[in-house]
Structure 1
């Protein structure tokens, strides 16, 4: 069985930057997981003493705080700035952009529509910058059931699929008097998704490596499944099941933006070991 890697996969710019910040800021605290990959979070804690704290109000004076890549709500950031702590902002610039857009557009009287997952920390952060109550929609079908005004501004969670954003944008253009559309999907997300789409058309089995709570990783899995029904999401090599690879000739591998190379390498090595065992 041959293994083929996606053209683009793994760590994006924002995640690389956040990891480098965490490694340089030893014995620090992140508000929520720095990235959505529990294995990498564990590595940072064991090797660099970087701990996770979910409750902003539990932060004490004198601590070193890192803002996660997904950002945090505006009121939480303002609370931290009023304490005697060292703050290092690791919010991805691609996430900061929709925050700024939402703040500006809401001040100018636009109804804010966010295409994203309402429970996701990135979306919660973006929502907090709106001066008026924003609308969060998870799909085109959800938008059609929503009452919208004549003057709207649309942004997207950075990890959404471009074709879904296009469908939503087209609907708003034809149903609103004025529509401001901002493509806030991350370039790396788009490249990874397109690479996964291309590779999944070629292979017998597709392995997507990444955190199971990672939005962009789940998007990669959904894309792969459209072309390759034998597509699976694994967090590390321990999630691989040998039976998946029986009678398979070509295995594709891609990985989410929060997946480090050391995990991808272990997955690839394990697949090769499984292939050898199946020959016996």
Structure 2
């Protein structure tokens, strides 16, 4: 059986940057998981003694805090700095951009629509930059727009890992409803490239393996896209989750990986598949 990697996969710029920043501050703690990959978090702990705090109360008890790639709410960041903590901001620049847009557009009197998952840490952080939280709305479906008390002028941003086609549906619905719509495409380039490459490979593959954290939004998106073209598409966090039965009678195994998946995990999966199909 042949194994083929997608032409674009794995670590994006923001994740590479965050890991480098964390490695430069051994003994510090990240506020929330730095990235959505438990194996990489474990490596940082073992090699660099990078700890993890899960909530704000815990964050206030440590001296050196690394802000995760997804960012944190504005008021929490401000309070940590005011308390004299060493705050090392590893928020991805692609996430910082919608934060700044929401802050500026809110000051200019626009209603804010954020296309994304309201429970995702990135979105909680982005929404917190609105001047008035009551005038910032998070949606995933067009139907959710119907009951919102929007002003005549609206600004919209997107979660960085969302599908562009889905974002466009929300934008079109707003254009039909509101007199002025400011559209900011904040979906990151790495997401476009990884998704397009995964789709191209899935069209040809007999089986697709998508590697990444089960709680990673961009990895789940990759898996969903692959499923559209290849029914035998599976999401795994590491080589231990591979099932030998998946590869029986298959000729081409395609591999993609989420933006929080390091190369060493990808290689472990490849090695395991090769050992299973010899």
- Give the TM-score taking structure 2 as reference length: 0.96
> Among residues 219, 224, 228, which one is paired with 1:222 in the alignment?
224
Distance (Å, rounded) in 1 between the aligned partners of 2:11 and 2:212 = 10
Determine the structure 2 residue equivalent to 1:20. Answer: 20
Determine the structure 2 residue equivalent to 1:80. Answer: 80
Distance (Å, rounded) in 2 between the aligned partners of 1:177 and 1:236 = 49
- Classify 1:269/1:92 alpha carbon distance in 2 versus 1 (closer, same or farther; 3 Å): same
- Give how far 1:55 is off: 2.0
Verify the 8 A CA contact 1:62 1:84 in the aligned structure 2. Answer: no
Determine the structure 2 residue equivalent to 1:165. Answer: 167
**Higher mean Cα deviation, 157-166 or 169-178?**
169-178
Distance (Å, rounded) in 1 between the aligned partners of 2:30 and 2:41 = 10
- Give how far 1:182 is off: 0.2
Verify the 8 A CA contact 1:204 1:228 in the aligned structure 2. Answer: yes
Determine the structure 2 residue equivalent to 1:119. Answer: 119
Determine the structure 1 residue equivalent to 2:11. Answer: 11
SS at match of 1:269: helix
Distance (Å, rounded) in 1 between the aligned partners of 2:270 and 2:142 = 37
Determine the structure 1 residue equivalent to 2:107. Answer: 107
Verify the 8 A CA contact 2:213 2:219 in the aligned structure 1. Answer: yes
Distance (Å, rounded) in 1 between the aligned partners of 2:145 and 2:253 = 37
Determine the structure 1 residue equivalent to 2:183. Answer: 181
- Classify 1:268/1:82 alpha carbon distance in 2 versus 1 (closer, same or farther; 3 Å): same
Verify the 8 A CA contact 2:2 2:252 in the aligned structure 1. Answer: yes
Verify the 8 A CA contact 1:61 1:83 in the aligned structure 2. Answer: no
- Give how far 1:147 is off: 4.9
Q: Kindly provide the CA deviation profile for residues 242-271 of structure 1, in whole angstroms up to 9, marking residues without a partner as x.
A: 111111110100000000000000001111
- Classify 1:130/1:65 alpha carbon distance in 2 versus 1 (closer, same or farther; 3 Å): same
Alignment of 1:1-280 (within 5 A): 1-60=1-60, 63-132=63-132, 133=134, 134-144=136-146, 146-276=148-278
Q: Superposition RMSD on alpha carbons, in Å?
A: 1.3
- Classify 1:46/1:179 alpha carbon distance in 2 versus 1 (closer, same or farther; 3 Å): same
Verify the 8 A CA contact 2:31 2:59 in the aligned structure 1. Answer: no
Distance (Å, rounded) in 1 between the aligned partners of 2:146 and 2:247 = 42
Spell out structure 1 runs of 4+ moving beyond 6 A.
Answer: none
- Give the TM-score taking structure 1 as reference length: 0.96
**Unpaired runs of at least 5, structure 1:** none
